[in-house]
Amino acid sequence: MVISGVGLGLRSAHIKPVLELNSDVDWFELLTDNWLDASGVDGLLLDEFCKRYPVSLHSIAMNIAGCDALNNDYFSAISRLSNRVKSTLISDHLCFSQVDGKPIHDLAPIPYNNDTLNHVVTRILKIQEYLKTTISIENITAYVNCLGSTMSEPAFLNEVARQTGCGILLDINNIYVNSKNFDNSALNYLYELNPLYVSQYHLAGFQNQGNYLLDAHDSYIHDDVLKLYEAALMKIGIKPTLIEWDNNIPNYQDLLTEYERVKSVYQQYNLAMHHAFNNEVTNV
Amino acid sequence: MSNKSLSNYQTEFYNMMVNNDRLNVADYIGDTFTWQLDVYQNNYHQCLFSTLSKTFNKTVIYLENNNYDIKYLFNRYIKENPSTESNLALYGARFSSWLKSIEYANIKIRIAADFATLDYALYQCYYASNSQSFLLEAFLALNDADKLNAKFQRLASISLLTSQWDLIEHDMVSISESIEPLEKTYNMLYYVVYRELGIAKYELISNDMYCLLSELRESKTLLYITENPIYNSEVNMPKLIQRQWVCMQ
């Protein structure tokens, strides 16, 4: 099933409420690593869930920019899951997450330069060949800058997408958090990206720690992030949009309130785009 | 940055996150504020800490009721046992044996270690793959010779453990938050962990049922099972079939 509109990151606590309410959500994102070879009650729920909703798969352990050999068992498991849930979108992050076979359970930044670009491109091409589909890669929150960088993150992402055909999963909250922590322009970031490569948006809440922002995924989307999202809708265009909420998970009704807030923004721009398109056609 | 230097950078980043070695990574990321590296170290630590908290809930209740500092124990375990599996559900596999090895492993810690074995088994049981349950009709349709050659194996969700303590009684005492734990020891008590209607459970079993289920970790013919009196198969096989703890290969 094709992904469009606004989706929610599915968390275990919400599966039953979603199914019971027959919730009117456009699509859901599954955290791949939590559902690989799901069985037991979880497996049954998953199968029921995917009959009703389109889903995308979001991974954290492809280790796209890592130096370890790609883990074919992991990609086989993703393939099996993708076939099972009929996912049309598979994504992971532009980062490394494992070193010498040992996981760091986090997303660590890489330097943006030609050597790393070649390394990442080679690995994404292999992953896509293995999965027999293109993937999308997400910009991460980074709390350090690598000294070896010679290009900006959006320029790097553009080039990776151009050379591999992969999409860019644009996390608006991550752009905002990085821009505040490193005093960059979030708008310039958006303007530097090639809109053709962007496949999806992510939105989430951050924590203000006083001297820095933490990408915590534990609260409502900040108004400034939502404004940046609007800027992305205008500059880059309408793309499937996902709300992530991973910690201090609210009850499902509260999450739906947040969903409606984002959905109204999405629909407003979606309608505006349709009107603009229709006017253009009429004028022709 | 060449691939070799990218690899060196990632190694130093790992050493910073996991081993708190902040010196060498500076060659790759320059000078940083303390909070910048703290974020990564906290993320790693918090991820493992919350996994342990989720997995070992009976152990946590037991230790807290007996005035042990579970945070200290988890923190120390994490420091001494870096994660080796990207599947977080597998983290904590050594927690039970680690508890037994700590320098003040008295009787309460040893009971806690058995709870840790139980907690880990319950956690794995919940996520274990589905196996086809035993189909009685298919078995009954076989002729006598084929019945004897039919192979049985226990389900992937079944696991076994032993303890010198009555964990069920301790479990109930823990839940009621009694401050008087029972420390009566037995020669050995045998437990099975199983999944019923999606819930991981455990219960006491007899020694011969324990031996039979241990044997059925790998598939065995009915003939093999019935020929060995230690398994008390006349009593135990119908029970295994009725509880749907075995499947036929």
| B229 contacts B215 by C-beta, under 8 angstroms | no
Q: What is the pLDDT of residues A229-279, one digit of tens each?
A: 999 999 999 999 999 999 999 999 999 999 999 999 999 998 887 777 677
Smallest Cα distance from B189 to chain A, Å: 28
| B12 contacts B25 by C-beta, under 8 angstroms | yes
**pLDDT-based confidence at A116, cuts 50/70/90?**
very high
| A172 contacts A205 by C-beta, under 8 angstroms | no
Spell out which residues of chain A touch residue B9, defining contact as CB-CB under 8 Å.
111, 146, 148
User: How many CB pairs below 8 A link A and B?
Assistant: 114
| B12 contacts B27 by C-beta, under 8 angstroms | yes
CB–CB of B36 and A147 under 8 A? Answer: no
Pick B36's closest partner by Cβ from A44, A99, A143: A143
CB–CB of B44 and A104 under 8 A? Answer: yes
What is the chain A residue with the closest CA to B43?
A106
pLDDT at B204 over 90: yes
CB–CB of B82 and A102 under 8 A? Answer: yes
**pLDDT-based confidence at A107, cuts 50/70/90?**
very high
- B165 contacts: CB under 8 Å, gap ≥ 6: B111, B114, B182, B183, B184, B185, B186, B189
CB–CB of A144 and B88 under 8 A? Answer: no
| A217 contacts A205 by C-beta, under 8 angstroms | yes
| A85 contacts A57 by C-beta, under 8 angstroms | yes
What's the pLDDT score for residue B182?
A: 59
Pick A37's closest partner by Cβ from B28, B35, B129: B129
What's the pLDDT score for residue A281?
A: 66
pLDDT at B213 over 80: yes
**pLDDT-based confidence at A150, cuts 50/70/90?**
very high
pTM confidence score: 0.90
**Separation between Cα atoms, residue B45 and residue B78, nearest integer Å:** 7
pLDDT at B40 over 70: yes
Smallest Cα distance from B63 to chain A, Å: 26
What is the chain B residue with the closest CA to A113?
B1
pLDDT at B179 over 60: no
